[in-house]
Amino acid sequence: MKIQVKNNNDSLNFDSKKLLEIWEEKKGQKGWACCNLECDEKATDGIYVEKTGKNEDGKKYIIPVCRSCKNMKNFQYYINIDKLLEVK
């Protein structure tokens, strides 16, 4: 199932390489590809995102993305829901 998310500007205050490492450790898999379903680039960073629209829940999640998608401020895109790692 795909879901729409947006970049959370809090990612700018954190080490994006460390966020990718956390995602990989907790998910038990490598973040090879950017989670943006419209992007074919390799994942290089982790970022915080929030669900948008009818699925908005006020929680923060980490996902792997490429450098281009990481740097898009308030950009909304679709990802596969199983790629979300909730921040607790």
Q: How far apart are CA 29 and CA 52, in angstroms?
A: 25
Output the pLDDT for position 72.
83
Question: Rounded to 5 degrees, what angle do the CA atoms 74, 31, 79 make?
Answer: 45
pTM: 0.91
pLDDT of amino acid 71: 86
pLDDT at position 74 is 76
Per-residue pLDDT of the chain (88 residues; tens, 9 = 90+): 999 999 877 656 678 999 999 999 999 999 999 999 999 999 999 999 999 989 999 999 999 999 999 888 778 999 999 999 999 8
Task: Answer for the pair 65, 43: CB distance below 8 angstroms, yes or no.
Answer: yes
